[in-house]
Amino acid sequence: MSSVSLTNVSRAYAGVAALDSVSLTAPEAKVLALLGPSGSGKSTIMRLIAGLEAVDAGQVRIGDEIVSTPSRTLAAEARRIGMVFQDYALFPHLTAGANVAFGLDKLARAERDEKTLRWLDRVGLKHRAHAYPHELSGGEQQRVALARALAPAPRAVLLDEPFSGLDPVLRAELRDATLTTLAETKTTTIFVTHDAEDALQVADRLAILKAGRMLQEAPPREAYDRPASLHVAAALGPINSYRGRVQSGVVQTPFGNVAAAHLAEGAEADVAVRAEAIALRAGAGVRVLDVRPHGAHDLVRLESRGLIWRALAPARINLGETVDVELAPTGAFAFAV
């Protein structure tokens, strides 16, 4: 396995930038998640790493090898990168086993058969070796696709939205099973998603993109606890926001003060407060609009001076019609506008 990195990579389509000087690293044997809304450049990054397209500027490296520069693009077949892309579906006319065996054509028959069964076993589908794709569920097809990508011992694998289009229970199961396989096989993985929960659950590192730019690259905990911008804070979970001014080192909001000593005094600032960072207690300062079950929590809508925020409170605490609130500094951020 090898690390994969992009250094100052740009790529434009018909003069419009899809990626603007993006740098990132997928460390060896770790999972890097690319998180961003539709059109932010995630698939473009995958195609550049796979060697399906050329870079306009910068370089792509796999381990120590430079595989893309503006003047040279190593062919996709020579990169030894495994892919699980939605548009790289299983070959419909081949069985699950034959799909996995497809990339092992250089091996002798016996070794190829043995490897195929070993990989199908690894994803829990040895007993389905003779089934055709249409006889498998969506989740099973994805597991075969993962086995097919990993069997030829690639230097890294690319997973493009591998769990989308599956129902939520199956999705979580497949996500966990895939992650276990990737961790056991110490596979360098780059994983595209627009789902924050998937990214936080699966990744060792997060790369958060917007409109072709890298907003932040960090371990999930760091990105969650120390977001570099309002956009990153919002990308990783529900937030409440407010625009105010820095006065005496804080931004005053209708729900309380947020520390902002790192910003210029008097400057405009955007505040982000995570729903779970709002603690509620008996009081009269803030109106409770409604309380709804939300897993282990209640989702509480609060109103203060015309502003409505959402808080996550421990389930079934008794709330009156009004409360007082306290903002936990660990989940309250102020950013320069």
Give residues in contact with ligand ADP (CB under 6 A).
Answer: 13, 18, 36, 38-44
- Closer CB to ligand ADP, residue 14 or residue 169? 14
In SS3 terms, the chain reads as: CCCEEEEEEEEEECCEEEEEEEEEEECCCCEEEEECCCCCCHHHHHHHHHCCCCCCEEEEEECCEEEEECCEECCHHHCCEEEECCCCCCCCCCCHHHHHHHHHCCCCHHHHHHHHHHHHHHCCCHHHCCCCHHHCCHHHHHHHHHHHHHCCCCCEEEEECCCCCCCHHHHHHHHHHHHHHHHHCCCCEEEEECCHHHHHHHCCEEEEEECCEEEEEECHHHHHHCCCCHHHHHHCCCEEEEEEEEECCEEEECCEEEECCCCCCCCEEEEEEEHHHEEEEEEEEEEEEEEEEECCEEEEEEEECCEEEEEEEECCCCCCCEEEEEECHHHEEEEEC
CB of 138 to ligand ADP, least distance (A): 21
CB of 35 to ligand ADP, least distance (A): 9
- Closer CB to ligand ADP, residue 42 or residue 143? 42
- Closer CB to ligand ADP, residue 40 or residue 141? 40
CB of 40 to ligand ADP, least distance (A): 4
CB of 110 to ligand ADP, least distance (A): 41
- Closer CB to ligand ADP, residue 38 or residue 248? 38
- Closer CB to ligand ADP, residue 129 or residue 158? 158
- Closer CB to ligand ADP, residue 36 or residue 103? 36
- Closer CB to ligand ADP, residue 41 or residue 97? 41
